[in-house]
Structure formats: C-alpha cells, structure tokens
C-alpha cells in the first residue's frame, strides 16, 4: 500500500472516531430505523444531554444496583402499522418487546407499566382487542402490568394507538451481560429463523401486493434465555434481541462495543423459505429485517454446543443455530463468509431497509 493511500485511510479513521453529529434539520424516518441514523441521534442528542454511566452502555436496558439486589430497567414504545397482523398485534409486541429487553439483561421480568396514546375516533373494540392481547401476553410472560397512563389526541395527530411499556426485572444471577463483553474465540448463536416479523409487517401493509404464509415471530424470550443462562453459568457474554435493524445491526453493535470482529457463516443462518422469497422479490437482505422473538447470543466458544443444546431444548429455540464466531481482527467489523465461498463486510443498517429495484 502506498503512503498516499495510508494517509487517506488514516484520515477516514480519524473522521470515524469524531463525535457523531446530527446533520439533518428535521427528523426523518431514517432516525427511527434502528440503524446508523438512530445511533447518531441517540448518541449526539440523548446521550449528550443525559450522560451517565448507566445510560452510556447503550444496552437494551439499564442494570440498577438496588442495595444488595440488582434490577434491570427498560422502556420501549410501539407504533406498528397495521395494529393487527398475522401472528400478533401491537398488544403482543408491547408486552413481549419489553419483556425481551429485560431478558437480554439477564433479568427475570416482573412488572410492566403501560402508557396509551389514543387517537380520537379509535374504535373501543380495537382497544379492547389490543388490551386483551396484552393481558394474555403478560400472563404468558409471568409479568404484571401494575401502572399506566392514557392520553387521547385529536384525530390525525396519531395513528390509532401507540403504546409505551416500561419494565422492571430482577437479576438473580451474578455477572453482567453486555454488548462490550464479546471476546475472540466466542461463538455466536441465533435462537431461530430470522426476519419473519419484519416480513409479516411489510406484507400486512399490503403495499407490495405480495401474499405469503408468513406470521410474526413475536414471543417472550425470558424463559428460553433462562434455560441458556442456567446451562452456561458465567459463559454467556452478550444477549441481544434482533429487533429494528435485524441481526446485522445488533452484531455490528457488539463488534464495535467489544472491539472485535464477528464472522458469520451465511449458510448457517436460518431463514424461512418464504422470508427468503419476500426478500428476493423486494431486494432486501434478511440480515437487516426485524425480528420480535429472536435473539443473538455470544457465548464462550468452548461451550457453543451446550449453548445450542440449551436453546434447542426450548420450543422457542428449537431451530437455533451457531451462526459464527468472534475473532480479534479486523476490529469492529462484521464479516460474512458467503455460501459461495467469498467474504464480505456486513455494514450497519443505513436508513430504513428500503425495497429496491436496482
């Protein structure tokens, strides 16, 4: 490599390390896509203003020291459209999503709050249906919804029904799970076939005239996580549910936070045939499509098989797979060994995953 080229690469590296800046004057949909723009917004606006050590980890939830005990604390808002889709509705998501964020901190989910923003004119029957789903999901997840809030806004100021849930869970096992804990030699697992939720939502919107028997994967993951943590005490480094931005984005966060490289085997990544079909038709990559009941686990490489067995012992992990490994170099990158025998870099999501024709 010539000196000139090295200079240019160094300049890019310096630019990369600079503090993130939000350049846009207005919020765009990309800021909510879970990818690079979201990350920049969170770091440059929220973290900048609220900075404290608990927030700074930017994990799925905060781990709170409460006397001798430890609690996990998290919040999430749900704005899905349509509200009802094959495999679930916004009520299931609002409970399962927050339960899962707590589970990813290694916590047993206990209590949830629920805040509703309702649009004037929203049918009470629909609200009842959503709330019944929430109640059922809460029972299934062993959590209680113990406090809440309701606001109604004028017609046109919201899209039917938005829900925010906040959750508290108890961390009963020692150690802390974190995106920054991955080490070279670790194994990377996924708890089941990816991308079904995102694909189901895209089809349910009816924008693309595509019909396929795809249902959302929304599910509470605390139980399958508990099984994994019990099977591998102290050997699980990182858990992340692969929601917005998909598996690719979550693993990029791990690679950056841990300063490692994550190497995936394309052929090992489970994707259902129909999800592949939708992705091929719309020019999307399943690695970036959201899941609501799948998580990625980074575990000590020596215990990869036990981790896989533990996941597969649970119905929600029956199709779990070892999809890759952690290496020291090249730092902060996710690589994919493609089925055809090549290697490529898996970028963090930039903007929304948009269907393309080119």
Partner 1 sequence: MCLGIPGELIGPAEEHEDLAVVEVSGVRRRINIGLLEGQDLKPGDWVLVHVGFALSKISEAEAQAVLEYLEGLGQPYEDEIDALRASDIS
Partner 2 sequence: MRFVDEYRDAGRARALAAGIAARCRPGRRYAFMEVCGGHTHTIYKHGLEDHLPEEVSLVHGPGCPVCVIPMGRVDDAIHIASQPDVIMTSFGDLLRVPGGTGSFLDAKAAGADIRMVYSPLDALKIAKQNPDRRVVFMAIGFETTAPSTAMTVLRAAAEGVRNFSVFCNHVMIIPAIKAILDSPDLRLDGFIGPGHVSAVIGCEPYAFIARDYGKPLVVAGFEPLDILASVHMLLGQLAEDRCEVENQYARVVPWHGNPVAMEAIGRVMRLRPHFEWRGLGFIAHSALAMAEEYAAFDAERVFDLPGVRVADPRSCQCGEVLKGVLKPWECKVFGTACTPETPIGTCMVSSEGACAAYYNFGRFTRDRRPAVIPLGEVSRA
Which residues contact partner 2 (rule: CB under 8 A)?
A: 1, 4-5, 8-9, 11-13, 15, 23-24, 26-30, 184-185, 187, 207-209, 263, 265, 268, 276-277, 280, 282-283, 285, 301, 304-305, 308, 322-330, 333, 335-345, 347, 350-351, 354-358
List the interface residues with partner 1, window 259-278 (CB under 8 A).
273-274, 276-278
274 makes contact, choosing from partner 1, partner 2, none, with CB < 5 to 8 Å by partner type, with partner 1
Nearest residue to 58 via CA among 184, 211, 153, 179: 179
- For tokens 């038709």, the residue is 281
CA 60 to chain centre: 8
Shortest spacing between CB 90 and partner 1, in angstroms: 25
Residue with smaller CB distance to partner 1, 156 or 209: 209
341 binds partner 1 (CB under 8 A): no
Q: How far is CA 194 from CA 38, 93, 116, in A?
A: 21, 16, 29
Nearest residue to 143 via CA among 79, 98, 174, 173: 98
CA distance 103 to 318: 18
Site string for partner 1, 185-214 (x = CB under 8 A): -----------------------xxxxxx-
- For tokens 């052929």, the residue is 267
8 makes contact, choosing from partner 1, partner 2, none, with CB < 5 to 8 Å by partner type, with partner 2
Convert 39-49 to b/e letters by CB count within 10 Å (16 or more is b).
bbbebeeeeee
50 makes contact, choosing from partner 1, partner 2, none, with CB < 5 to 8 Å by partner type, with none
211 makes contact, choosing from partner 2, partner 1, none, with CB < 5 to 8 Å by partner type, with partner 1
356 binds partner 1 (CB under 8 A): yes
Q: How far is CA 323 from CA 19, 91, 242, 257, 313, in A?
A: 32, 31, 14, 20, 18
Site string for partner 1, 210-249 (x = CB under 8 A): xxxx------------------------------------
Residue with smaller CB distance to partner 2, 137 or 260: 260
Residue with smaller CB distance to partner 1, 202 or 224: 202
CA distance 184 to 271: 26
CA distance 111 to 255: 32
- For tokens 């000590």, the residue is 300
Residues of the shown chain interacting with partner 1 in the complex, contacts defined by CB under 8 A:
208-213, 273-274, 276-278, 280-281, 283, 356-358
């Amino acid at each position: 490599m010539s000196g000139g080229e090295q200079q240019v690469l160094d300049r890019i590296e310096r630019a990369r390390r600079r503090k993130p800046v939000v350049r846009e004057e207005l919020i765009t949909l990309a800021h909510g896509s879970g990818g690079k723009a979201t990350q920049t917004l969170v770091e440059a606006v929220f973290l900048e203003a609220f900075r404290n050590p608990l927030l700074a980890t930017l994990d799925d939830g905060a781990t709170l020291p409460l006397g001798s005990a430890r609690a996990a604390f998290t919040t999430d808002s749900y704005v899905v459209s349509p509200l009802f889709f094959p495999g679930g509705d916004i009520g299931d998501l609002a409970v399962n999503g927050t339960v899962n964020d707590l589970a990813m901190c290694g916590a047993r989910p206990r209590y949830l709050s629920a805040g509703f923003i309702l649009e004037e004119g929203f049918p009470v029957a629909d609200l009842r249906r959503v709330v019944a789903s929430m109640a059922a999901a809460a029972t299934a997840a062993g959590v209680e919804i113990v406090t809440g809030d309701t606001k109604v806004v004028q017609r046109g100021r919201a899209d039917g029904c938005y829900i925010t849930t906040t959750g508290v869970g108890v961390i009963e096992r020692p150690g802390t799970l974190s995106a920054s804990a991955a080490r070279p030699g670790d194994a990377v697992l996924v708890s089941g076939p990816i991308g079904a939720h995102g694909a189901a939502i895209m089809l349910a919107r009816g924008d693309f005239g595509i019909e396929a028997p795809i249902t959302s994967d929304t599910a509470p993951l605390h139980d399958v996580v508990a099984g994994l943590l019990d099977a591998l005490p102290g050997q699980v480094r990182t858990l992340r549910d692969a929601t917005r931005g998909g598996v690719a984005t979550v693993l990029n966060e791990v690679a950056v936070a841990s300063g490692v490289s994550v190497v995936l085997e394309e052929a090992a990544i489970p994707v259902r045939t129909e999800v592949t079909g939708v992705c091929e038709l719309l020019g999307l990559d399943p690695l970036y499509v959201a899941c609501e009941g799948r998580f990625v686990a980074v575990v000590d490489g020596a215990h990869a098989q036990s981790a896989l067995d533990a996941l597969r012992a649970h119905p929600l992990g029956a199709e779990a797979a070892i999809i890759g490994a952690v290496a020291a170099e090249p730092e902060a990158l996710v690589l994919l060994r493609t089925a055809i025998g090549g290697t490529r870099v898996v970028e963090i999501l930039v903007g929304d995953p948009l269907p393309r024709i080119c």
